[in-house]
């Protein structure tokens, strides 16, 4: 498969996708027709216009799947697919309702380039269980696309030692996940992304990632780290640590 999984679509001080634009345009086929999936936000038209504004100057034709009465037909007519960020639960619910969960999964497994950002990156994992989002709707299942066999946590935040906030840190929440599930979690800080090309996977971008595994100390992964071995993961969900 051919995947570009961004932690975030907007970086502080930059326009939409600006921080990764060279990577995005190099990833997408030249003069591509891009199927954009806007379901993570409520206003699909405005969201699609934002993506058009960012990508069409680079020769990419952006079509929102909602603009076609048959979203799967729009996907089938495209050279690549981009699932944008927003609320992951709303997004997955819409993918189930429109039939795009199966259509996107099958097309990408068949070679269609897939780009995700934030919630769209969550979709590439087996489930939503490591999403940061509030469940504002209830999808039929937490099962996502399963394009990679491990979990991803976009927008990963390090604990702030100066904070007086007493809620759980992101690291504590992921540790709790690993107490119940034996699946590695790749924490992607903002400004980083995961690039998958066939059986090869690398952390890319400006910042290191952080890898969480059961019964192991979290590991820092510098940009350009080879994480291809994660593609051989055999996930075990609902497998409490003993």
Give the catalytic positions in this structure.
Answer: 118, 133, 155
Q: What share of the chain is helix, strand, coil (3-state, %, to 5)?
A: 30, 25, 45
Q: Are strands 2-6 and 114-117 parallel, antiparallel or unpaired?
A: parallel
Taking each helix axis from N to C end, the angle separating 88-98 and 100-109, rounded to the nearest 10 degrees, works out to 90
In terms of Cα–Cα distance, which of 141, 121, 140 is closest to 131? 121
The answer to whether the Cα torsion of 165, 170, 176, 177 is positive or negative is: positive
| Distant-in-sequence contacts of 124-128, Cβ < 8 A, 24+ apart | 124/3, 124/5, 124/148, 124/152, 125/150, 125/151, 125/152, 126/150, 126/151, 126/183, 126/235, 126/237, 127/151, 127/237, 128/88, 128/89, 128/92
What Å distances lie between residue 166 and 157, 163, 169, 172, 176, CA to CA? Answer: 15, 8, 9, 12, 16
Quote the Cα angle for 188-45-136, to 5°: 55
């Amino acid at each position: 498969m051919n995947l570009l999984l961004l932690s975030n679509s907007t970086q502080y001080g930059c326009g939409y996708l600006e921080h990764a634009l060279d990577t995005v345009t190099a990833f997408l086929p030249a003069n591509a027709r891009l199927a954009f999936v806007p379901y993570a936000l409520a206003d699909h038209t405005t969201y699609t216009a934002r993506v058009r504004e960012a990508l069409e100057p680079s020769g990419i034709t952006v079509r929102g799947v909602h603009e076609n009465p048959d979203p799967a037909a729009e996907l089938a007519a495209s050279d690549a697919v981009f699932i944008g960020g927003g609320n992951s639960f709303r997004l997955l619910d819409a993918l189930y309702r429109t039939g795009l969960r199966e259509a996107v999964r099958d097309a990408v497994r068949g070679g269609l380039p897939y780009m995700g950002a934030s919630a769209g990156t969550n979709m590439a994992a087996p489930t939503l269980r490591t999403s940061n989002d509030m469940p504002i709707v209830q999808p039929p299942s937490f099962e996502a696309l399963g394009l990679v066999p491990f979990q991803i946590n976009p927008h990963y935040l390090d604990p702030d030692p100066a904070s007086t906030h007493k809620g759980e840190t992101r690291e504590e929440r992921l540790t709790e996940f690993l107490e119940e599930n034996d699946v590695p979690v790749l924490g992607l800080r903002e400004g980083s992304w995961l690039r998958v090309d066939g059986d090869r996977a690398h952390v890319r971008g400006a910042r290191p990632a952080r890898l969480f595994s059961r019964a192991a100390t979290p590991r820092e992964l510098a940009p350009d780290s080879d994480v291809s071995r994660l593609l051989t993961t055999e996930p075990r969900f609902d497998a409490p640590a003993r």
